[in-house]
Structure 1
Amino acid sequence: MENQRPLILITNDDGVTAPGIRALIDVMSQIGEVVVVAPDKPQSAMGHAITINSTLYINKISKEGAEILEYSCSGTPVDCVKIAVNEVLKRKPDLCVSGINHGSNSSINVIYSGTMSAAVEAGIEGIPAIGFSLLDYNWDANFEEAKPFIKKITLEVLEKKLPKDVVLNVNLPKLKTNEIKGIKICRQAKAMWQERFDKRTSPFGKEYYWLTGEFVNEDKGEDTDEWALANGYISIVPVQFDLTAHHATQQLNTWDWNE
């Protein structure tokens, strides 16, 4: 029906009880009919992992008669999208939103992010999708300042429609609403993690490791997500899931593959 409210699937990687997803539910419930399917425990940095060697469980956690249906899932963020589309929802959603992530998913972090992998999976399913992240890792981060911008971006996507096979990676700086300078469409900064492993020994004499590291951005471009965030802007990077390096095919076709 023409006046039907959009059906919005919400998920995340911090878990169904995380404050970030509660804030996202609050915003999306103002826009459409909301169904939540999210991990039952933190699943950060799971990337596009799926569960294939063990069973999956979903549990309805919303009370009977509740306006918003909520389910917890024992799997990864990508599992949540797959099971929502195939088992929970009565029809394909008009939009999938993932987040609000506690911490940045800019630059190379998009590769590791469970938040963005959930959005990408929705895109693969033909569902318009947005991943939202706030540059604040604290569990009690203030998401109120981000809400007006999240609502605006969501309404724009619903009205204007995303390009085919593209999802949005949205990162919001940790600033008050009146301090945010605006929204910039960006490219992903060429940056990386310089990793280290902190080697320790357990009380039983067994060696173990903690992964640590430092984020290094050597990209000086002023059109990147890192530049935008450092300068008080919300960054939006359009992300595709076709990983073909199209620019390299011509060169590779000159090689002697069949001789």
Structure 2
Amino acid sequence: MNEKRPLILISNDDGYESLGINSLIEYVRDMGDVIVCAPDAARSGFSCAFSATEPLLLTLRAESDGVQIWSCTGTPVDCVKLALSEICPRKPDLVLSGINHGDNGSVNTHYSGTMGVAMEGCMKYIPSVAFSLCDHNPRACFKPLRNYVREIVKRVLAEGLPMGVCLNVNFPLATEFRGMKICRMAHGTWGNEVVKARHPRGYDYYWLVGSYTSDEPQATDTDNRALTDGYVAVTPTRIDVTDYETMNRLKDWENIIL
């Protein structure tokens, strides 16, 4: 690893063999030295979960000029924690996550292991960006994303991000994009989330599935609308989830004596 080049840590929640993460590696490998530490299999929906009760294993899968690829038996957040502690020769200049096979806009932000990687990097005060494509196909075409990914990475490396802020970047399923929109997270709801079935051996079992509904379909400033209109949706996301307006409104509660 060359200390004069930026150090980029990459992870995801689809696993180190996924087409999305390998596309991301190819798109940025000339922009810095790259260390990849990703789950050994898919870990979608793990959000910011980490392994507190089980030991973890690291395996070096490949090494070439300026790129190391490791797998981890844990969650996406485990991968970041282990990489920072055991693999990276110094603090990375950038943490990248993805490219995810599937949309991580709206409330999916809170469930996403892809965003868990970016949140973990952000909590370590490292500029962090999560990339997702609205296509669950394991053979999805990521080529249209290349120039946008490189431009975003170039700008974040040069300009940084505010402390406690990471970027959630979602791409619509298209062969070309109308541009980028800087937008907020849409309000939405998952419904019909449980499918119950009867096992031949006499017990019930359940699949967690669901369908998404936008709760503000007329809004024009959201990630959902940007994606629907063919734009790349860039949503600055804060670690601090405090609602300051409500905090100030409830200040008089401090005067209550029971």
User: Normalising by the residue count of structure 2, what TM-score does the alignment of the two structures yield?
Assistant: 0.95
Q: Which moved more, 1:200-209 or 1:11-20?
A: 200-209
Cα deviations across residues 53-111 of structure 1 (Å, max 9, x unaligned)?
A: 01011011115x55411100000000000111111111000000000000000000000
Q: CA deviation at 1:132?
A: 0.1
Instruction: Write the distance in 1 (CA, Å) between the matches of 2:193 and 2:55.
Output: 34
Cα deviations across residues 156-209 of structure 1 (Å, max 9, x unaligned)?
A: 1111211111000000111113xx111110000011211331111112111100
Alignment-derived partner of residue 40 in structure 2: 40
The residue identity in structure 1 corresponding to 2:185 is: Q
Instruction: Write the distance in 2 (CA, Å) between the matches of 1:216 and 1:17.
Output: 32
Alignment-derived partner of residue 120 in structure 1: 119
Instruction: Write the distance in 2 (CA, Å) between the matches of 1:188 and 1:200.
Output: 34
For residue 23 of structure 1, give the secondary structure of its aligned residue in structure 2: helix
Q: Which one of 191, 195, 200 corresponds to residue 188 of structure 2?
A: 191
Q: Which moved more, 1:189-198 or 1:11-20?
A: 189-198
In the superposition, relative to structure 1, how do residues 250 and 70 fare at CA in structure 2: closer, same or farther (>3 Å)?
same
- Indicate the percent of aligned positions where both proteins have the same amino acid: 40
Q: CA deviation at 1:254?
A: 2.0
- What RMSD, in angstroms, separates the aligned Cα atoms of the two structures? 1.4
Instruction: Write the distance in 2 (CA, Å) between the matches of 1:106 and 1:245.
Output: 21
The residue identity in structure 2 corresponding to 1:225 is: D
| 1:83-122 to 2 correspondences below 5 Å | 83-122=82-121
Instruction: Write the distance in 2 (CA, Å) between the matches of 1:41 and 1:3.
Output: 31
Instruction: Write the distance in 2 (CA, Å) between the matches of 1:243 and 1:186.
Output: 17
Alignment-derived partner of residue 134 in structure 2: 135
Alignment-derived partner of residue 58 in structure 2: 58
| Residues 29, 66 of structure 2: 8 Å contact kept | no
Displaced runs of 4 or more, over 4 A: none
Q: Which one of 199, 215, 218 corresponds to residue 218 of structure 1?
A: 215
Q: CA deviation at 1:218?
A: 2.1
Q: CA deviation at 1:212?
A: 2.2
Alignment-derived partner of residue 235 in structure 2: 237
For residue 30 of structure 1, give the secondary structure of its aligned residue in structure 2: helix
Instruction: Write the distance in 1 (CA, Å) between the matches of 2:257 and 2:83.
Output: 45
Instruction: Write the distance in 2 (CA, Å) between the matches of 1:12 and 1:79.
Output: 11
The residue identity in structure 2 corresponding to 1:36 is: V
Q: Which moved more, 1:14-23 or 1:153-162?
A: 153-162
For residue 209 of structure 2, give the secondary structure of its aligned residue in structure 1: strand
The residue identity in structure 2 corresponding to 1:83 is: L
Alignment-derived partner of residue 178 in structure 2: 181
In the superposition, relative to structure 1, how do residues 92 and 243 fare at CA in structure 2: closer, same or farther (>3 Å)?
same
Instruction: Write the distance in 1 (CA, Å) between the matches of 2:81 and 2:215.
Output: 37
Instruction: Write the distance in 1 (CA, Å) between the matches of 2:189 and 2:111.
Output: 11
The residue identity in structure 1 corresponding to 2:44 is: S
For residue 71 of structure 1, give the secondary structure of its aligned residue in structure 2: strand
| 1:69-88 to 2 correspondences below 5 Å | 69-88=68-87
For residue 110 of structure 1, give the secondary structure of its aligned residue in structure 2: helix
For residue 252 of structure 2, give the secondary structure of its aligned residue in structure 1: coil
Aligned pair 1:25/2:20, yes or no?
no
Alignment-derived partner of residue 146 in structure 2: 147
The residue identity in structure 1 corresponding to 2:104 is: N
The residue identity in structure 2 corresponding to 1:247 is: E
Q: Which one of 204, 220, 227 corresponds to residue 201 of structure 2?
A: 204
Aligned pair count reads 255
For residue 23 of structure 2, give the secondary structure of its aligned residue in structure 1: helix
Instruction: Write the distance in 1 (CA, Å) between the matches of 2:37 and 2:54.
Output: 19
The residue identity in structure 1 corresponding to 2:231 is: Y
Instruction: Write the distance in 2 (CA, Å) between the matches of 1:20 and 1:81.
Output: 18
The residue identity in structure 2 corresponding to 1:227 is: R
